[in-house]
């Protein structure tokens, strides 16, 4: 890995985590402020509207992932004409998709009060909210192509810093307007307008970094077919992702109430914040995996899998442990004691299952980077359908807790029974070696943190941020000492058993892998 590339990866990860920290801090303080100003029903409606329009993301058709994939590939090959065809064709397709979104928005705005149990006082507001969010998403499609372009350039820091500025400005404006008595419509306008402005600014930055030729002659059918071939598989994964993580609020809103959405969202939102910490790290590995595949560097892909997921586990294991032990205190300090009884079980159920996924966040990026994600797409689509069916069945008997179980059971099955074996087979790694190298150290280093938190929890149970802070600080110091020891001894990055396995692999196997266009003998087409 070149020195410049290492610096860029460090810059990307550092800016990603900083942007994430800002986003989480804003969410921690802004969400309860909005909740208590609007009330349970209005806040639940706000969550519901964004959940419904979140399905517009399916109209992306997986194209953004193909932008990241092929921008990285064409830059590595120095093909400016192919790059121009990619961007121009993508912009044309996204513009058509944006117009389709406006048609869908008109239909949703007309029927929203029929499909969902929305309180009578919000009937007129709900249609206008749909229009506001839907129109911004439609415009965001062509503008959002720039985000994928910057990711392909591995300039995540530009995306991250612009998100920081936009997020802080959004929080300030929402606080000001709510303090002046304005309500749901105004904060929704602020929420959808700022990303559009940010995206326009990114366009000028991206074109300055890497000028692109524009023109109708660069809108190319062959490029479109190439994008569709890659992104069709991605679309299945996107559909599955929506079924897995974005149907809960819709199911609850159609079968229970807008207020019930709020109770569910509190628990699931905390899990989302935990996942964001890992995703901010893992997202940097897609272009790395794509470049490694393009150059035929299988050894590097193996190390990225093991070390990348090891660091994902280093990140998520202590967060999971802290939330399981202190989750009730976190909810009480965040939004109030009355939400503990219902939201904490949702938090536990969603967190345990999601940890299996978060600890393997790099695995998915490697599959995308290698263009070997078709089998995973089918598995995760089955998982998403199972999620929806189970949620509808279980919510009738157990309410929002049943909905949480409907998400957790299929997710655990796919991430425990399928993903590790699939990646190990693709990259030629023994699954026992992978599991030991990637996850034993994170488990061992988290154990002292768990012991310290349990001891302090027996001493006293915190109820406010001021009481939570010392426990989290002490646990963090204990965990930090363990991490420093790993780095000082070189164990954090060591892949001894994996390296030994690679050296002991047969020459015939290595030659066969090197001769195969997809890097590996196993076909995932």
Q: At what angle do helices 361-370 and 298-334 cross, to 10 degrees?
A: 140
Same domain, 160 and 307: no
Indicate the pLDDT class of residue 230, thresholds 50, 70 and 90. low
Q: Can you tell me the mean pLDDT for 67-75?
A: 71
Looking at the fold, whether 149 and 75 belong to one and the same domain comes out as: yes
Instruction: Supply the DSSP symbol for 182.
Output: -
Asked if residue 126 belongs to a domain, the reply is yes
Same domain, 202 and 278: no
DSSP designation for 118: -
Name the more confident of 289 and 31: 31
Of the pLDDT bands very low, low, confident and very high (cuts 50, 70, 90), residue 234 is low
CA distance to 64, 86, 138, 145, 148, per residue, from 216 (Å): 21, 12, 22, 17, 21
Closest CA to 403 of 247, 270, 258: 247
Final residue of a structural domain among 199, 228, 257: 228
Q: Residue 507: is its pLDDT beyond 60? A: no
> For residue 426, what are the contacts with CB-CB under 8 A and spacing of at least 6?
367, 370, 372, 520, 522, 524
Average pLDDT of the chain to the nearest whole number: 79
Mean pLDDT of 444-448: 94
Q: Pick the residue with more confidence: 334 or 282?
A: 334
Inside any domain, residue 237 = no
Whether residue 27 lies inside any domain: the answer is: yes
Clarify whether residues 162 and 288 are in a common domain: no
CA nearest neighbour of 87 among 104, 69, 116, 67: 67
Whether 429 is covered by a domain: the verdict is yes
Containing domain of residue 61, as a range?
1-228
> Taking every pair of C-alpha atoms in the chain, what is the biggest distance, in angstroms?
73
Q: Picking from 123-127, 145-149, 223-227, 381-385, which range would have the lowest pLDDT averaged per residue?
A: 145-149
Going by pLDDT thresholds of 50, 70 and 90, the confidence category of residue 515 is very low
Q: Is the domain of 146 the same as that of 202?
A: yes
Number of domains composing the chain: 2
Q: Assess if residue 238 is contained within a domain.
A: no
Cα separation, 46 vs 116, in Å, equals: 13
- Dihedral over alpha carbons 445, 450, 453, 458 (to 10 degrees): -150
Please tell me whether residues 179 and 296 are part of one structural domain.
no
Range name among 49-53, 393-397, 454-458 with the lowest pLDDT average:
49-53
Confirm if 410 and 244 have CB atoms less than 8 A apart. yes
Alpha-carbon span 44 to 27, nearest angstrom? 16
The reported pLDDT for the residue numbered 101 is 84
Say whether both 111 and 171 belong to one domain.
yes
pLDDT above 70 covers what percent of the chain? 79
Residue 416's pLDDT band (boundaries 50, 70, 90)? very high
C-alpha–C-alpha distance, residues 218 and 213, integer Å: 8
Domain assignment present for residue 286? The answer is yes
Q: Count the Cβ atoms, other than its own, within 10 Å of residue 300.
A: 16
**Quick one: pLDDT band at residue 250, thresholds 50, 70, 90?**
confident
What pLDDT is stored for residue 188 in this prediction? 82
**Does the residue 241 lie in any domain?**
no
In this model, does residue 263 exceed pLDDT 70? yes
Residue 352 confidence class, pLDDT cut points 50, 70, 90: very high
pLDDT digits (tens, 9 = 90+) for 292-334: 665 666 777 888 888 889 989 999 999 999 999 999 999 999 8
Rounded-to-integer distance, Cα 7 and Cα 5, Å: 5
Q: Are residues 351 and 423 in the same domain?
A: yes
169: pLDDT strictly greater than 60: yes
Cα separation of 103 and 368, whole Å?
31
For residue 8, the model assigns a pLDDT of 58
Do 54 and 188 lie in a common domain?
Answer: yes
**How would residue 420 be classed by pLDDT, with cut points 50, 70 and 90?**
very high
Q: How many CA atoms lie within 13 A of 6 on its CB side?
A: 3
What pLDDT does residue 522 have?
A: 34
Based on the fold, state whether residues 218 and 276 are members of the same structural domain.
no
Q: Flag whether 233 is in a domain.
A: no
The pLDDT assigned to 329 comes to: 94
Which of residues 176, 195, 228 is at a domain's end? 228
Two tokens at 199? Answer: 């995206």
Of 92-96, 285-289, 442-446, which range is least confident?
A: 285-289
What pLDDT, in 10s, does the model give residues 16-38? Answer: 667 777 877 887 788 788 787 77
Do residue 209 and residue 131 come from a single domain? yes
* Residue 465 confidence (pLDDT): 87
Task: State yes or no: pLDDT of 186 exceeds 80.
Answer: yes
Answer yes or no: do 95 and 204 share one domain.
Answer: yes
Provide the 10 A C-beta neighbour count for residue 512: 13
């Amino acid at each position: 890995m070149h020195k410049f590339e290492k610096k860029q990866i460090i810059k990307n990860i550092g800016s990603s985590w900083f942007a994430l920290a800002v986003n989480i801090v804003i969410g921690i303080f802004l969400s309860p402020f909005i909740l208590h100003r609007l009330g349970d029903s209005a806040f639940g409606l706000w969550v519901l509207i964004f959940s419904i329009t979140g399905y517009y993301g399916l109209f992306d058709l997986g194209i953004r992932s193909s932008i990241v994939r092929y921008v990285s590939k064409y830059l590595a090959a120095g093909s400016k004409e192919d790059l121009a065809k990619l961007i121009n064709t993508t912009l044309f397709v996204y513009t058509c998709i944006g117009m389709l979104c406006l048609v869908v928005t008109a239909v949703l705005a007309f029927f929203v009060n029929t499909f969902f149990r929305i309180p009578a006082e919000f009937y007129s507001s709900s249609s206008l909210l749909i229009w506001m969010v839907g129109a911004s998403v439609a415009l965001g499609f062509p503008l959002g192509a720039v985000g994928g372009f910057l990711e392909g350039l591995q300039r995540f820091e530009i995306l991250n810093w612009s998100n920081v500025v936009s997020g802080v400005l959004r929080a300030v404006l929402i606080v000001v307007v709510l303090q002046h008595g304005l309500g749901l419509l105004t904060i929704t306008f602020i929420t959808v307008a700022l990303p559009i402005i940010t995206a326009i600014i990114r366009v000028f930055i991206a074109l300055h970094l890497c000028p692109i030729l524009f023109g109708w002659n660069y809108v190319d059918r062959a490029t479109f077919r190439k994008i569709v071939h890659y992104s069709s598989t991605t679309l299945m994964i996107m559909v599955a992702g929506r079924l897995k993580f974005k149907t809960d609020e819709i199911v609850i809103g159609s079968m229970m109430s807008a207020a019930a959405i709020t109770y569910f969202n509190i628990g699931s939102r905390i899990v989302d914040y935990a996942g964001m910490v890992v995703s901010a790290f893992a997202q940097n590995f897609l272009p790395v995996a794509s470049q490694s595949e393009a150059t035929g560097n299988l050894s590097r892909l193996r190390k990225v899998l093991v070390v990348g997921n090891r660091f994902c586990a280093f990140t998520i294991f202590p967060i999971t442990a802290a939330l399981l032990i202190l989750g009730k205190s976190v909810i009480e300090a965040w939004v109030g004691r009355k939400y503990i009884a219902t939201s904490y079980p949702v938090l536990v159920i969603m967190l345990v299952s999601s940890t299996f996924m978060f600890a393997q966040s790099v695995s998915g990026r490697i599959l995308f980077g290698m263009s070997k994600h078709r089998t995973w797409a089918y598995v995760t689509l089955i998982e998403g359908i199972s999620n929806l069916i189970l949620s509808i069945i279980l919510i009738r008997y157990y309410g929002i807790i049943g909905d949480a179980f409907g998400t957790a059971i299929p997710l655990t099955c796919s991430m425990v029974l399928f993903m590790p074996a699939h990646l190990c087979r693709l990259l030629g790694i023994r699954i026992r070696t992978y599991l030991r190298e990637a996850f034993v150290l994170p488990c061992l280093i988290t154990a002292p943190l768990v012991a310290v938190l349990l001891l302090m929890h027996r001493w006293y149970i915190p109820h406010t941020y001021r009481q939570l802070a010392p426990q989290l600080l002490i646990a963090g110091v204990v965990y930090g000492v363990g991490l420093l020891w790993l780095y000082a001894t070189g164990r954090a990055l060591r892949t001894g058993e994996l390296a030994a396995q690679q050296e002991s692999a047969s020459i015939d196997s290595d030659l066969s892998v090197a001769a195969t266009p997809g890097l590996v003998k196993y076909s995932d087409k």
